[in-house]
Structure 1
Amino acid sequence: MRVGVVLLPQARWALAREQWQRVEALGFDHAWTYDHLAWRSLADEAWFGTVPLLAAAAVATERVRLGTWVASPNFRHPVTFAKELMTLDDLSDGRFTLGVGAGGTGFDATVLGGAVLSPRERVDRLAEFVGLLDELLREPVTTVHGARYSAVDARMLPGCLQRPRLPFVVAANGPRAMRVAVAHGAGWATTGPEGVTGEQWWSAVAGLVGRLEDTEVDGRSGTGLERYLNLDSGGVYALSSVEAFRDQVGRADELGFTDVVVHHPRTEGVYAGRVEVLEAVAAEL
């Protein structure tokens, strides 16, 4: 079981650099940050840009894998984003993973003045967004005219260090989004269903694992994907105690997850906790 830590992009770099380096020094396997322009209850708090932050983290660390948890099509275009991803892969010396999802309905969905899309429309957009990213990051020159996105002689040189491109981890719960994960992903990620907690949440997560295993696309099977679970979505903050972490990791392992993700403790509010618990968990790992 590999364990990753999400560091929200809130601290100024003088402090954030210490946090990213500490997560690496503690031995965690991967480190992520959110890809939002603002987020839920923290919308009026400090919030820095995802790509510049990950670029800084890439040159401040040496071993830990880095990634987006998860990138959103709400305010991104595949051509410009692919260029940024290729650069992050280079800055990290091939340690970058793209976590990507369909995008939510909050602030990010309307900040550019666009209409809020239906769930079906968001999955349609995800399929096109990920498909074009896949091609852009594999090919030196790409021309595609899609329903939502186009690329005309888009050059992606020198390409990714990781070949044929950096890995994708696609967040998906529904069957159509899972097909995107199986078609393009090295891994699948889930936060489980919204609006349920406790045993009901764990039961639903087990159902999602079964759905993934039943999904096949063009000869690719969901059984072969790495599986990432956001432990903090089921109503219990995984780093509230070492015991809580042990319990949740054990349950994720029983369901066949290869990776789990927890959030770095904050001083107050959502994900409030103590850094000492993070350190104790790392010592056990």
Structure 2
Amino acid sequence: MRTGIVILPEHRWWMAEHKWKAAEEYGFHHAWTYDHMGWRSLVDGPWFGAVPTLAAAASATSTIRLGTLVASPNFRHPVPFSRELLALDDLSDGRFTLGVGAGGVGYDTEVMGATSFDTKRGTPSRQGRFEEFVAALDLLLAQERTTFSGEHYEIRDARSAPGCVQRPRLPFVVAANGPKAMAVAAKYGTGWVTTGPETDDETAWWDGVAAMAARFREVLAGIGRAKESIDFHLNADSCPVYSLTSVEHFREVAGRARGLGFTDLVVHWPRADGVYAGSEAVLERVAADVLPELVG
């Protein structure tokens, strides 16, 4: 099983750079950052843009895959965003993965004022916008010229030279918990990522993750796609218990995820306090003692 780590874009680069380099040195297969204007309890604190952060990370590393977990249409249009993605794919020499989702409600949907879509979870307009966003990016990144007309986006003869380093385009890991978003992941995704259900009960969370994995396999089967053709990513820290609480707990989390058929496990770099609070000493021990076990 592969492992990834999320490094929140909250530190000035002189402090953040060593985390990205260390993620590669520790043996993580991929490293990610959030793509938000601000995020939950950290909205009043320091926060930097995902694209320039990942550009800097690409220059600071050489082998680890990099990506957004996840970008959304909440404050992005597919045409200018596709140009930024082309640049990230080029700067990383083909190590970039687009993590993409419908986007949550909250600060990202409020800070830019009134919007033309319904931001409530599960609404047709929100889901439709997400489907169009992914479909448009798929075209923009895979072909030289794109014209697209939908309910939410119109694109007129957009150019995409020089194209992605990765062909036919850079990979998509699509976030999906419900059946409609899962259909998008099954159609466009190189990978699928889930956060599991929203609950404060650890047992209920794992039960929900198992149910979602089973449901996604059904969605894949429904379109005739083999489950082996797409990676299954689990955002472990959506669980009520932080994955890096201890080495033993991380080993248990990894074992449960592998048992449910997940190919990739994603955790978060420990913070000093608040969300994802933990010890970097635990991270170092996990890297030294557990990550090598998961590769086998």
Normalised-by-shorter TM-score class: over 0.9
Aligned partner of 1:214 in structure 2 is: 218
What SS does the corresponding residue of 1:94 show, helix, strand or coil?
Answer: coil
SS in 2 for 1:238: coil
Structure 2 portions without partners, runs of 5+: 292-296
Unaligned residue ranges in structure 1 (runs of 5+): none
What corresponds to 1:228 in structure 2?
233
Tell me the SS of whatever aligns to 1:15: helix
2:187 matched residue in structure 1: 183
Q: SS where residue 57 of structure 2 aligns? A: helix
Q: TM-score, normalised by structure 1?
A: 0.97
Q: Which residue of 1 aligns with 2:78?
A: 78
Deviations 1:51-99 (A, max 9, x none): 0100010111001000001001100000011110011000000000000
For 1:117 and 1:28, how far apart are their aligned partners in 2? 34
Displacement, 1:222?
A: 4.8
2:282 aligns with one of 277, 282, 285: 277
Q: How many residues in Structure 1 have an aligned counterpart in Structure 2? A: 285
| Amino acid in structure 2 at the alignment position of 1:206 | A
Specify the alignment match of 1:244 in structure 2.
249
Does the 8 A contact of 1:101 with 1:171 survive in 2? yes
Q: Which residue of 2 aligns with 1:265?
A: 270
SS of 1:117 mapped into structure 2: coil
Give the C-alpha shift of residue 195 in structure 1.
2.5
1:98 counterpart SS class: strand
**Matched residue of 2:35: which SS?**
coil
TM-score (norm 2): 0.94
Give the secondary structure class of the aligned counterpart of 2:70: coil
Greater Cα shift, 96-105 or 121-130: 121-130
CA contact 1:214–1:222 (8 Å) conserved in 2 = no
Deviations 1:25-74 (A, max 9, x none): 11111000000000000000000011010001011100100000100110
The 1-side partners of 2:239 and 2:201 are apart by: 5
CA deviations 1:104-141 (Å, max 9, x no partner) are 11100121113442322222111100000000000111
Residues 174 and 193, structure 2, Cα contact 8 Å, conserved in 1: yes
Q: Percent identity?
A: 58
Indicate if the aligned counterparts of 1:215 and 1:221 stay in contact, CA closer than 8 A: no
| 1:10-29 to 2 correspondences below 5 Å | 10-29=10-29
1:223 Cα deviation (Å)? 5.4
Across the aligned residues of Structure 1 and Structure 2, the Cα RMSD in angstroms comes to: 1.2
- Match of residue 30 from structure 2: 30
